[in-house]
């Protein structure tokens, strides 16, 4: 007989007893001990009748098997437990034979009927709990206002909730088993859709918009979130997607765009809404405004918006880029000059201060103005009068001054490069424009704006940006801000000849940067996984003792605690 058969470590709910021809017990497993209450030491090499002390007739079944060599299955028999009480068990008796046919032992297998009933009751209870949980999850699944469906790795729909039925017009029976593109019929289906990106990159994607066809072929816009589905060993087995019919929202587009748009300034983030309030208030005054912010954040747009919403909007808006002129020319550009004021001055020329009379003068890059010109600017702003270069006549000034710079003027004042008195003269009302990286919530709105603008410019009909490109744009830091974003999109318009912008249309430097970032993220994930495993192994080694673990890892206990909390190891 195979020695493995006698291994007492075999895990089973059935009591197993092996009896030799001398009617002695030679094997007695743990389940047999549990059911009978007798230990292995108490029964090994004892007569089998020790199990039939109060029902000796039941022992005849074992004797009969030795004589006839026939098995007996699933019959009720009584055994006696360690407390000398009779237990009714369901049993089977099977002979073990040599190749010659001689019987060398008998296996007696038994199961406690009460345990079976308890197990059945427990299984029934678990089944009810599972059914209850299934019903609860189905209720949650079907009560969601968002359409929700799941697909397997063959792109076949495996679940489809009531909201999905309502939005698409397809019933569960019609949708389940179908490939998702046959139900939704979007232009992005099988063409770099959001679900494909989520499953391939194992990333959650949120708030992308696209258009699908309902069962009746009606085109409706939806907002989509998607995520991959994993099995118990973290393999991707499909995906889940929620979607919301935004037709009503789209019907309010004009109203919303006016709310989140102030003379071509695009954004609906909190910081931009605060900016709109500031612009509305300052536009109604003649206060001097200083606009600060990084290059490309739209300082001139803000200056124009203030002018167009002020009482001076019918008068000129004059722009002077102070960094574009050398010192001698800048003075002439600002104040004008009389004929013969200097070599080459063959006629009288009006300066920008005069050209802007009644309106707004915008001095861009004012931080680049020389100290000599700063003195003259200060004098003009204080007296509200100026003279042309080479002239003697005072000209009264009637303008609204708006200045802008990407420099830190306070630091310029400290370094002596900018006059403190001029700084306080122009900084009556400060508007600081945040960089694009601090208002990425506005990126979808900006992308929509530039798609419309560039479609008109290039006479194209590019409708959308694929999820992978959207992800790249969302993860870029945009050092050049909105100007850089517009330039990137214009680059894609030159290369794109379909209705969707894809990764191959992006500038090479941006694609390479995204690839490098992805590889870096992958390396960081590997390093993090290794650190988690080392902490786990060390904790196991010291039976969860954090002090010893921290000492072994040469880190502080508080550092270990933070890492355990971060990696959910507590």
DSSP for 138-203?
Answer: HHHHHH-SSEEEEEETTSBEEEE-HHHHHHHS--HHHHTTSBHHHHH--TTTTSS-HHHHHHHHT-
Question: Model confidence over 45-74: pLDDT tens digits?
Answer: 999 999 998 888 888 889 899 989 899 988
Q: What is the band of 93 on the pLDDT scale with cuts at 50, 70, 90?
A: very high
Q: In this structure, are residues 358 and 390 in contact, taking their beta carbons and an 8 Å threshold? A: no
Q: What is the mean pLDDT of the chain?
A: 85
Q: b/e per residue, 94-124, with b = 16+ CB within 10 A? A: ebeeeeeeeeebbbbbbbbeeeeeeeeeeee
Confidence of residue 250 (pLDDT cuts 50, 70, 90): low
Q: What's the whole-number mean pLDDT along residues 198-216?
A: 83
pLDDT at 496 over 50: yes
Which position has the higher pLDDT, 437 or 4? 437
Residue 27 pLDDT more than 70? yes
481 neighbors 520 (Cβ within 8 angstroms): no
Instruction: Flag whether pLDDT at 253 surpasses 60.
Output: no
Closest CA to 37 of 27, 17, 51: 51
Looking at the predicted structure, is the pLDDT value of residue 540 above 60? yes
Predicted pLDDT of residue 363? 94
Could you tell me which residues come within 8 angstroms of residue 290 by beta carbon, excluding any fewer than 6 positions away? 402, 403, 404, 405, 409, 426, 427, 428, 429, 430, 431
d(CA 491, CA 513): 16
Q: Could you give the CA distance from residue 452 to residue 326 in angstroms, rounded to a whole number?
A: 39
- Separation of alpha carbons 263 and 248, rounded Å: 25
Query: 414 Cβ partners below 8 Å, 6+ apart?
Result: none
Measured between alpha carbons, how far is 470 from 420 in angstroms, rounded to an integer? 45
What is the set of domains in the chain, with CATH numbers? 3-118 (3.30.450.20), 144-246 (3.30.450.20), 257-432 (3.40.50.300), 436-506 (1.10.8.60), 514-566 (1.10.10)
What band does 109 get if pLDDT is binned at 50, 70 and 90?
A: very high
Q: Which residue has the higher pLDDT, 434 or 249?
A: 434
Q: pLDDT category, 527, cuts 50, 70, 90?
A: low
Q: Hunting for tokens 């000599």 — which residue is that?
A: 372
Please, which residues bridge with residue 105 across strands? 20, 96
Higher-pLDDT residue of 148, 248: 148
Beta strands in 394-527 (DSSP E): 395-396, 400-405, 429-432, 464-465, 500-501
- Give the start-end residues of each E strand in 310-419: 317-321, 336-337, 349-350, 360-364, 385-386, 395-396, 400-405
d(C-alpha 267, C-alpha 441), whole Å: 8
pLDDT over threshold 60, residue 4: no
Q: Over range 412-431, report the average pLDDT.
A: 94
**Encoded tokens for 143:** 């009560």
3-class SS shares of the chain: helix, strand, coil, % to 5: 45, 20, 30
pLDDT of residue 201: 81
Highest mean pLDDT among 381-395, 521-535, 539-553: 381-395
Please tell me the predicted confidence (pLDDT) of residue 252.
55
- Greatest alpha-carbon span in the chain: 139
Pairing of strands 72-80, 86-97: antiparallel
CA distances in angstroms from 1 to 64, 82, 92, 382, listed in the order given: 21, 29, 18, 112
- Mean pLDDT, residues 14-27 taken together: 92
pLDDT of residue 6: 41
Helix (H, G, I), strand (E, B) or coil at 227: strand
pLDDT score recorded for residue 194: 79
Cβ-proximal residues to 184 (8 Å cutoff; 6+ apart), any chain? 168, 212, 213
- pLDDT for residue 255: 46
Tokens of 79: 């055994």
Helix axes 508-541, 546-553, angle to 10 degrees: 130
More confident residue, 436 or 236: 436
150 has a pLDDT exceeding 70 = yes
282-305 residue pLDDT tens = 999 999 999 999 999 989 999 998
**Is 404's pLDDT higher than 90?**
yes
pLDDT digits (tens, 9 = 90+) for 334-380: 888 888 777 777 788 888 999 999 999 999 999 999 998 899 999 99
pLDDT confidence band for 8 (50 / 70 / 90): very low
| Residue 3: predicted pLDDT | 40
Residue in the block written with tokens 């490098």: 516
Radius of gyration of the chain from its Cα atoms, rounded to whole angstroms: 41
Strand partners, 103: 97
Q: Identify the pLDDT of residue 259.
A: 44
Does the reported pTM lie above 0.85? no
């Amino acid at each position: 007989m195979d020695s493995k058969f006698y291994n007492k470590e075999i895990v089973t709910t059935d009591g197993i007893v092996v009896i030799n021809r001398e009617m002695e017990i030679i094997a007695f497993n743990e389940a047999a001990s549990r059911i009978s209450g007798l230990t292995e030491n108490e029964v090994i090499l004892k007569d089998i009748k020790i199990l039939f002390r109060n029902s000796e007739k039941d022992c005849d079944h074992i004797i009969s098997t030795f004589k006839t060599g026939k098995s007996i299955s699933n019959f009720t028999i009584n055994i006696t437990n360690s407390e000398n009480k009779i237990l009714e068990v369901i049993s089977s008796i099977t002979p073990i034979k040599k190749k010659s046919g001689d019987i060398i032992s008998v296996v007696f297998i038994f199961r406690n009927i009460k345990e079976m009933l308890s197990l059945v009751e427990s299984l029934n209870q678990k089944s009810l709990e599972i059914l209850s949980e299934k019903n609860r999850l189905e209720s949650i699944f079907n009560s969601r206002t968002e359409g929700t469906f799941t697909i397997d790795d063959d792109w076949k729909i495996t679940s489809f909730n009531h909201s999905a039925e309502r939005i698409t017009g397809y019933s569960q029976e019609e949708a389940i088993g179908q490939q998702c593109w046959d139900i939704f019929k979007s232009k992005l289906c099988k063409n770099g859709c959001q679900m494909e990106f989520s499953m391939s990159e194992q990333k959650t994607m949120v708030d992308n918009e696209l258009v699908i066809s309902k069962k009746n072929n009606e085109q409706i816009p939806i907002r989509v979130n998607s995520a991959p589905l994993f099995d118990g060993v973290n393999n991707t087995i499909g995906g889940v997607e929620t979607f919301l019919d935004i037709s009503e929202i789209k019907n309010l587009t004009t109203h919303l765009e006016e709310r989140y748009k102030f003379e071509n300034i695009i954004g609906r983030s909190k910081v931009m809404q605060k900016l709109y309030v500031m612009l509305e208030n300052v536009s109604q005054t003649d206060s001097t405004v200083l606009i600060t912010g990084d290059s490309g954040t739209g300082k001139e747009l803000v200056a124009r918006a203030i002018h167009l919403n002020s009482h001076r909007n019918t008068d000129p808006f004059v722009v002077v880029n102070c960094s574009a002129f050398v010192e001698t020319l800048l003075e002439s550009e600002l104040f004008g000059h009389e004929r013969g004021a200097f070599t080459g001055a063959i006629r009288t020329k009006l300066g920008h201060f005069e050209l802007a009379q009644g309106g707004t003068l915008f001095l861009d890059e004012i931080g680049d103005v020389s100290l000599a010109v700063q003195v003259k600017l200060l004098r003009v702003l204080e007296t509200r009068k100026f003279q042309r270069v080479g002239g003697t006549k005072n000209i009264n000034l009637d303008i609204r001054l708006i200045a802008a710079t990407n420099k830190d003027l306070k630091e310029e004042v400290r370094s002596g490069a900018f006059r403190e008195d001029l700084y306080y003269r122009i900084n009556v009302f400060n508007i600081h424009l945040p960089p694009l990286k601090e208002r990425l919530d506005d990126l979808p709105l900006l992308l929509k704006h530039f798609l419309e603008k560039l479609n008109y410019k290039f006479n194209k009909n590019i409708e959308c940006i694929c999820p992978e490109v959207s992800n790249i744009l969302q993860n870029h830091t945009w050092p050049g801000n909105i100007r850089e974003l517009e330039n990137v999109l214009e680059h894609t318009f030159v290369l794109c000849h379909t209705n969707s912008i894809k990764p191959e249309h992006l500038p090479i430097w941006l694609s390479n940067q995204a690839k490098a970032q992805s590889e870096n993220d992958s390396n960081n994930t590997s390093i993090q996984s290794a650190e988690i495993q080392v902490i786990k192994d060390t904790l196991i080694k010291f039976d969860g003792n954090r002090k010893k673990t921290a000492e072994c890892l040469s880190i502080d206990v508080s550092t270990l605690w933070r890492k355990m909390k971060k990696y959910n190891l507590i």
